Structure 1
Amino acid sequence: MMDLILFGVFPYVAVALAVSVGLYRYFVERYSWSSQSSQFLENRMQFWGGVPWHYAIILILLAHLLAFLLPGAWGQLLGKPVRLYLLELTGLALGVCALISLVLMMYRRAGDARVATVTSTVDWLLLASLVLQVATGVYIAFTLRWGSSWYVYTATPWLWSLVRFDPQVQYLAVTPAVVKIHAVNAFVLISLFPFSRLVHVVSIPLSYLSRPYQVVIWYRQRGRTM
């Protein structure tokens, strides 16, 4: 019963919540549809945390997406041991990089009072879920080898069964606990997403293509010189 709730019911609840709350914020509370950027408070730690994080997590998500959309081609790609070893090592390195970068960004937010004031409780919950997601992913890559291969035979058919509205929870019911946590937490992130500042990433800022550029100039009043 618990497997059915976690892998057969909760994913739909998370997606429904993400869509409904996201649409509400976009059409009713448009002002809240913002990144509330702290870029003006940027320091060196933000660079070393934010830039590696974005590159690492995009590549990791791209690999997950390709294995989901093209399982046959993905299986052929990993048919040679050399390619499998290379992908496993690359994924582990990207996961460690993403985890370190995420910890640096959280440390910056906690350590800088100016940044902490623009960080909501939901943002902290989202960051904590991201840490859990990346940490469990690194643990899976390090302890449960060849995940890039068996993902195609466990997570991929389970996700496609959700798309067909015919959840086949048996695919994940037999996996280790850490894999279950990783899968459920992915939908926890989806459910938290519309409540956080990250909701703005799903919008397509087409108006920016024709909007005149803006120049930001810092003005600091200087003392009078004699």
Structure 2
Amino acid sequence: MDNFFNALNNFFLIGLPYMALLVFVIGSVWRYTSTKFKFSSLSSQFLEGRQLFWGSVPFHIGILFLFFGHLTAFLIPKAVLLWNGHPARLIVLEVTAFVFAIAVLIGIVNLLYRRITNARISVVTTKMDYAIISLLLIQVVSGLWVAYNFRWGSSWFSSVLTPYLRSIFALQPDVTAVSALPWVVKFHIVGAFFIVLLIPFSRLVHFLVVPLNYIWRPYQQVVWYWDRKNVRKAWTPWSLQRPKNN
């Protein structure tokens, strides 16, 4: 039985990460060189904007904080541990991260609800969209579960997961410490690598081409020739065929 669990740990904590990173790099390059016009988020804002706002804004704000929070613990773990040396600072960090995670959860639920209930959005929604949103939903729920049941994650992430992740990138994988973690933590790790694996084939690939030039580009004037209220209604006459570029 021990050999079986060791094999599972080796596959999901060593084999899967390398597979995910390899597919991510090769897949992203392939998609960019072969289908540049699809190398984006394929925004549906023109089809519906109100629900998108309440889904996209909390999701992006929350996910950015969590991403850079994890990245900080990976890059400078000693600084994070030093910060957490004072109980008040540790609690502030943990509570703040938890709040942003809830924001991500609210955003994902709204985005999923929008794609399921809005007829116009459903037409341009692919199976991969549902798959990646579902994975993100599972990931944030498992993350909240870990944060609530296994407190002070920023500290044990810096001391346990950072060495593991660095060993992966150093091509000297060491899963000794990670293997002893609770199953839900390992589930959260595996979920993250599954998302990385699917990035080249989903809308998430757009984060690789962040349009920073939008910050300083001139203002663009958009002229509406249709009634705004009618154009955003699902029953307004519109093509119900899936666009060829989606």
Establish whether TM, by shorter chain, passes 0.5.
yes
Distance 2:180 2:54 in 1: 39
Q: 1:18 aligns with which of 3, 24, 27?
A: 24
5+ residue gaps in structure 1?
222-226
Distance 1:70 1:34 in 2: 31
Counterpart of 1:224 in structure 2 is: none
Counterpart of 1:34 in structure 2 is: 40
CA-to-aligned-CA distance 1:36-81 (integer Å, 9 cap, x gap)? 1101123322212211111111111111110000011111010001
Alignment of 1:112-151 (within 5 A): 112-151=118-157
1:161 aligns with 2:167: yes
| Partner AA of 1:138 in structure 2 | L
Number of residue pairs matched?
A: 221
Q: 1:201 aligns with which of 195, 203, 207?
A: 207
| Partner AA of 2:142 in structure 1 | T
Distance 1:32 1:52 in 2: 24
Alpha-carbon distance change, 216 to 153 in structure 1, aligned in 2, over 3 angstroms:
same
Identity of aligned residues (%): 41
| Partner AA of 1:68 in structure 2 | F
Distance 1:207 1:72 in 2: 35
Aligned structure 1 segments of 4 or more residues deviating by more than 6 angstroms: 209-212
**How big is the alpha-carbon RMSD for the aligned residues of Structure 1 and Structure 2?**
1.8
Alpha-carbon distance change, 49 to 161 in structure 1, aligned in 2, over 3 angstroms:
same
1:90 aligns with 2:88: no
1:68 aligns with 2:53: no
Determine if contact 1:36/1:118 at 8 Å carries over to the other structure: no
Distance 1:34 1:146 in 2: 36
When normalised by structure 2's length, the TM-score is 0.84
Counterpart of 2:193 in structure 1 is: 187
Offset at residue 31 of structure 1 (A): 2.3
CA-to-aligned-CA distance 1:80-114 (integer Å, 9 cap, x gap)? 01111111111111111211221011101111011
Offset at residue 220 of structure 1 (A): 2.3
Distance 2:49 2:215 in 1: 28
Determine if contact 1:126/1:192 at 8 Å carries over to the other structure: yes
Offset at residue 18 of structure 1 (A): 1.0
Distance 2:49 2:37 in 1: 26
1:175 aligns with 2:181: yes
When normalised by structure 1's length, the TM-score is 0.92
